[in-house]
Amino acid sequence: MLKDIQVAGQKDTRSGFGDGIYELGKKNPNVVALTADLAGSLKLNAFIKDFPDRFIQCGIAEANMIGIAAGLTIGGKIPFTTTFANFSTGRVYDQIRQSVAYSGKNVKICASHAGLTLGEDGATHQILEDIGMMKMLPGMTVIVPCDYNQTKAATIAIADHEGPVYLRFGRPVWPIFTKAGEKFEIGKAQYFSQGSDVAIFACGHMVWKAIEAGIILEEKGISTEVVNIHTIKPLDEEAVLTTLRKTKCAVTVEEHNIIGGLGDAIGQTAARHFPAPLEYVGTKDTFGESGKPLDLLKKYGLDTPDIVAAAEKAINRK
């Protein structure tokens, strides 16, 4: 039952990245961290202290950072670039496309402060298009973990994955509800409940909101399957279709524009293999604004009651 999921405190997912890359630094001498003047925000201080010869401060020169990272791979290094998600993608899209994706370089693009939950920094920093941008690049793996533990595990896992990766995480403290030390499997969906009436596919911070919604739905007698799609690409199509064939309707939930993100990935899969009623919870072709993270989720329709309402609407469309 979803109500039985244990919460082990709260911590920001960016700290999961910082602790993960520090663990990598201890066991893999080829791991190199690069940042664009945001070492503190990306929680790199422990890595810098113990591995100063494997840290490159690029300054406010994100495009140059991507170029340096691509070059480092030629010598067998595994570069992890770090900055805010807006600067990790929008500011350097050309460099990522040409020097990393097209060239097939083993660069790990690690992006914090994504989505509305960035909060007070406002629309200029709250990128809501990055999943779509990265998903469309051939050969790019796109990962959006759900809590501190999973972000740490995903950070460690991508070092062993050959090829470019986009890893997206965030700023606010958030419930920790996955198990510490649990192995992260790229491209493998994670189930938090089994259900037959409706499915909720979610990623990132919104997985916890999906669990909260699932608890409410279960209390209403609605059997709900909550699935964490932490890997947007490659999508676990087998899991998605197995769930859809069982529930025959679903909701997708993401801290991202519904155009181009997780919802589009699920929708394309359903359209090709098993058309079913889908409802989309995410931002609706809009930019964000300055505000407190939870207030912004409410204003833009990404809160727990919005997911409940979307699930009930999907069920009624069956």
Q: Which of 282, 166, 181 is nearest to 234 (CA)?
A: 166
Q: What are phi and psi of 254, to 5 degrees?
A: -150, 150
**Contact criterion met (CB below 8 Å) for 141 and 154:** no
The residues, any chain, with a CB within 8 Å of residue 32's CB and separated by 6 or more, are: 54, 55, 56, 72, 77, 78, 79, 80
The CA-based dihedral angle spanning residues 35, 79, 203, 241, taken in that order and rounded to the nearest 10 degrees: 160
Q: Which of 206, 98, 102 is nearest to 147 (CA)?
A: 206
Among 23, 62, 225, 255, which one carries the catalytic annotation?
62
Annotation marks residue 62 as catalytic = yes
The secondary structure of residue 2, as a DSSP letter, is G
Q: Which of 208, 258, 269, 276 is nearest to 233 (CA)?
A: 269
The residues, any chain, with a CB within 8 Å of residue 199's CB and separated by 6 or more, are: 224, 225, 226, 227, 243, 244, 246, 247, 249, 250, 251
**Contact criterion met (CB below 8 Å) for 247 and 222:** no
What Rg value do the Cα atoms of the chain yield, rounded?
A: 19
Token pair belonging to 65: 């950072």
The secondary structure of residue 130, as a DSSP letter, is H
Annotate 256-287 with b (16+ C-beta within 10 A) or e (fewer): bbbebbbbbbbbebbeeeeebbbbbbbbeeee
Scan for tokens 């899969």, then name that residue.
Answer: 269
What is the set of active-site residues?
62
